[in-house]
């Protein structure tokens, strides 16, 4: 039996996203419009709309595993960013491009930064196929951001981190927001950083568990 993905998208929005108090109509419409199943591999398409993270690239050698964030978590973070139609967005850790496709529906322009070359090629192909003409996919180290096209109104880090490098804060526009989850598992907290009068402040928003994003993780040296 062939899955009715349009119906599954509607149920995802009604049963997963609306129920966590996501009320921004532009975000709800984006989730209804972008086909999540196109941004995962063929063998997990039928799982696209489950309430959970989905692997889009398994860990290989020194390459990190990459995931599509569960819909409810992603929607809450997008709403926290308070994206406007005039905003320029930097999406750090863009994976296969699903989140960038959502941003493309609600922002003016999007830079989708990914360090995995395979996913860069995949995201670029998918976003062009879906006519996300306001998205540029770029390859580079995630922890460096992408200053070449900054500064940005919104910086969205797609995964949990231990810290944020100063160089990424430098890419925030005056009045800009940076949305991220700091900490892991049950200790994860969604934070929004805001730059006003050249001063960056932070507001703790809600607890949230998302997959970690390598490049932003602290390492510990053992002393024997």
Tell me if residue 204 falls in helix, strand or coil.
Answer: strand
pLDDT tens-digit map of 146-186: 999 999 999 999 999 999 999 999 999 999 999 999 997 77
Per-residue pLDDT averaged across 134-149, rounded? 97
The whole-model pTM stands at 0.93
CATH architecture of 5-207: 3-Layer(aba) Sandwich (3.40)
Between 221 and 99, name the one with better pLDDT.
99
pLDDT at 224 over 60: no
Rounded CA separation 127/8 (Å): 21
DSSP state of 44: G
What is the average pLDDT score of the chain? 92
Pull the structure tokens for residue 32.
């209804």
Q: Are 160 and 212 in contact (CB under 8 A)?
A: yes
The pLDDT-based confidence of 127 (bands split at 50, 70, 90) is very high
The pLDDT-based confidence of 2 (bands split at 50, 70, 90) is low
Per-residue pLDDT averaged across 7-20, rounded? 97
Residues sharing a CB contact under 8 Å with residue 177, sequence separation 6 or more, in sequence order:
81, 82, 153, 154, 155, 192, 193, 194, 195
Largest CA distance in the chain: 59
């Amino acid at each position: 039996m062939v899955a009715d993905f349009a119906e599954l998208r509607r149920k995802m929005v009604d049963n997963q996203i609306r129920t966590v108090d996501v009320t921004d109509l532009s975000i709800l419409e984006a989730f209804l419009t972008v086909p999540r199943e196109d941004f995962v591999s063929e063998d997990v398409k039928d799982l696209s709309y489950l309430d959970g993270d989905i692997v889009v690239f398994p860990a290989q050698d020194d390459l990190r595993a990459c995931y599509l964030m569960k819909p409810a978590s992603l929607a809450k973070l997008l709403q926290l960013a308070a994206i406007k139609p005039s905003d320029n967005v930097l999406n750090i850790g863009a994976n296969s491009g699903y989140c960038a496709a959502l941003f493309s529906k609600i922002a003016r322009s999007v830079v989708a930064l990914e360090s995995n070359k395979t996913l860069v090629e995949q995201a670029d192909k998918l976003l062009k196929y879906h006519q996300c003409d306001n998205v540029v996919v770029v390859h580079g180290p995630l922890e460096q951001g992408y200053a070449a096209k900054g500064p940005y109104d919104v910086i969205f880090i797609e995964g949990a981190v231990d810290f944020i490098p100063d160089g990424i804060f430098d890419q925030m526009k005056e009045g800009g927001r940076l949305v991220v989850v700091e900490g892991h598992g049950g200790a994860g907290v969604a934070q929004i950083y805001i730059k006003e009068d050249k001063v960056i402040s932070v507001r703790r928003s809600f607890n949230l568990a998302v997959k970690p994003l390598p490049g932003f993780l602290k390492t510990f040296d053992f002393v024997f």
